[in-house]
Amino acid sequence: MNVRPPLDGNLSIFGAQWGDEGKGKVVDFFCENVDIVVRFAGGNNAGHTLVVGGLEVAVHLLPSGAVRPSAICVLGAGMVIDPSALLEEMQMLADVGCSLDAKRLKLSSRAQLVLPYHRQIDALREGGPNAIGTTKRGIGPAYEDKAARRGLRAGDLRDGASLRAKLERAIADVTPQIVAAGGQPPELVPLFDALAAQAETLRPHITETEPLLARWMRGGKRVLFEGAQGAMLDIDHGTYPFVTSSTTLPAGACAGAGVAPRALGAIVGVSKAYVTRVGAGPMPSELDEAESERLRSHGGEFGATTGRARRCGWLDLPALRHALTVSGADYLALTKLDVLAAFERIKVCEAYMLDGERLAIDAFPASADELARATPVYREMAGFAGISGDERSFEALPQTARDFIAYVEQALELPVCLVSIGPQRDATIVRS
Ligand code: GDP
Ligand code: IMO
Ligand code: MG
């Protein structure tokens, strides 16, 4: 069994829980030897935090590779891009010395646009009884417009005259539902004027990224595909309907970046040593509020995008096994082991009980109602007292942490290739 991804060839890194697994940190770590970093799905619902040289940066639309001066960043066709958020983020990065000129940031002309009325619809719905706790960034409504074939795309920003006509049509389409939900109808002129101004700055970055990627790969460049959200938020395989509106799995990178499945390279799923979730939906190993609060405060579990307190629970192996299966993961990266150093005893959910029966580890319920009825069967273990964050080899970790890793590997039948023991880039141990 190989215990680490090859150091040549492409890499795909994705979340194997409900998001916020520490993907940004893991991507940043692996970016050292990568030429191109590609985001392929989602939008600024993501929040990936990087801590580099004492500076903390959270990226939302841009790939985490943006802080590596030599990496080219690609925003793929499968993404939904809010132009105002993208410009803000480019400015934020420029302010910390990571400018992205048109050579270094490429936006697919095929990516969909998130417009202010998408955010408006998202917020109006979330005010109702069926709220799923979205990030209110307009992600669901933008993907709905894409599927309804009335969305505007980044390429539309290249032609002012047709942009205005397309925007007018789109506004006519969405206005009835906004008015019915009690919202103000969007106004064409201010919306067009703002978009036209944003288009000026974004235009040099907008291009057909697909043949570029193909050419780079033919030339031997190394590409990293950076997942957003997590497998449990995937539109098909997540805890539907409490999911996001895109394919978050590595498979989504093929369509979302326009590359062959074989281009994905080694697939690394990222998981915390426990679980968190923001938003509504079932989470069988969720702790009660007092215990959740303890994990939250030790782990700093507040959303990088919305600042919401994350719901916390013990590591859930049936959910993780499902995530890794539907993702086709080759390796697991385990993050935040240091957080469990504060706990004398920890638990791991190794199976679910559902309606009086113990389910096999690979029988993850497809129905959110069933999952809400599932109760965890726990294995108790010692916490990881002694982790300082300065360890740089597996052997240097306390025996309790090594036992935990071995147990997880055996239950999931997958090697742990990387362990993260702090938010900083170098608080990382790679299997050798
Ligand atoms: P992402 O969305 O998957 O990139 O994850 P987020 O950035 O939203 O949330 C992960 C949080 O955990 C961030 O604040 C990271 O800086 C932090 N983090 C990542 N890895 C570790 C780790 O090993 N230990 C600790 N203590 N924090 C970590
Ligand atoms: P990263 O990339 C955690 C969640 C929302 C909500 C659901 C749908 O940082 O891991 P949406 O706004 O996408 O329509 O919300 O998905 N969600 C995330 N949770 N991390 C994320 O991204 C998320 N992106 C969306 O909280 O439950
Ligand atoms: Mg996040």
pLDDT tens figures, 113-141:
999 999 999 999 998 888 999 999 999 99
Distance separating alpha carbons of residues 370 and 368, to the nearest angstrom = 5
Atom 16, ligand 1: which residue's CA is nearest? 423
Distance 21 CA to ligand 1 centre (A): 6
Is the confidence at residue 2, as pLDDT, over 80?
no
Please tell me the total number of residues recorded for the chain in this structure: 432
Instruction: For 355-408, write each residue's pLDDT tens digit.
Output: 999 999 999 999 999 999 999 999 999 999 999 999 999 999 999 999 999 999
Give CA 127 to chain center in angstroms: 24
pLDDT digits (tens, 9 = 90+) for 145-156: 999 999 999 999
The tokens for 399 are 């025996």
pLDDT digits (tens, 9 = 90+) for 291-349: 999 999 999 999 888 899 999 999 999 999 999 999 999 999 999 999 999 999 999 99
* Structure confidence by residue, pLDDT tens digits, 185-226: 999 999 999 999 999 999 999 999 999 999 999 999 999 999
The phi and psi torsions of 262 (rounded to 5 degrees) equal -70, -10
Q: Is 20 considered catalytic here?
A: yes
Q: Whose CA is nearest to atom 19 of ligand 2?
A: 19
Cα-based angle 303, 250, 219 (whole degrees, multiple of 5): 115
What is the model's pLDDT at position 304?
83
> Which residues on neighbouring strands pair with residue 404, listed in sequence order?
none
Question: Distance (Å, rounded) from C-alpha 30 to C-alpha 25?
Answer: 9
Q: Which atom of ligand 2 is nearest to the CA of 305?
A: 9
Q: What is the rounded CA–CA span in Å between residue 49 and residue 357?
A: 40
Determine the pLDDT at residue 127. Answer: 87
145 C-beta closer than 6 A to ligand 1: no
Contacts of 432 (CB under 8 A, 6+ apart): 4, 393
* Residue 198 and residue 84 in contact, taking contact as beta carbons nearer than 8 Å: yes
Ligand 1 pocket residue status of 28, Cβ below 6 Å:
no
Give the whole-angstrom CA distance, residue 428 versus residue 364: 31
> Could you tell me how far CA 2 lies from the centroid of its own chain?
26
* Concatenated DSSP letters of 59-126: ESSS-GGGGSTT-EEEE-TTBEE-HHHHHHHHHHHHHTT----TTTEEEETTSEEP-HHHHHHHHHHH
End-to-end alpha-carbon separation of the chain, Å?
A: 12
Give the model's pLDDT for residue 431: 87
Most ligand 2 atoms within 8 A of CB, residue of 82, 135, 145, 242 to mutate: 135
User: Which pTM value belongs to this model?
Assistant: 0.97
Q: What is the pLDDT of residues 407-421, one digit of tens each?
A: 999 999 999 999 999
- The segment(s) of the chain belonging to CATH 1.10.300.10 are 112-204
Of ligand 2's atoms, which has the minimum distance to the CA of residue 42? 13
Cα 226 to ligand 3 centroid, rounded to whole Å: 12
CATH 3.40.50.970 holds for 11-109+208-430 = no
Predicted confidence (pLDDT) at residue 75 exceeds the cutoff of 70: yes
Domain with CATH 3.90.170.10 in the chain: 11-109+208-430
**Which H or E element spans position 380?**
strand 375-382
As a whole number, mean pLDDT of residues 182-187 equals 96
Assigned superfamily of 112-204: Adenylosuccinate Synthetase, subunit A, domain 2 (1.10.300.10)
Q: Is the pLDDT of residue 240 over 60?
A: yes
DSSP state of 309: B
What is the C-alpha to C-alpha distance for residues 91 and 374, in angstroms, rounded to an integer? 46
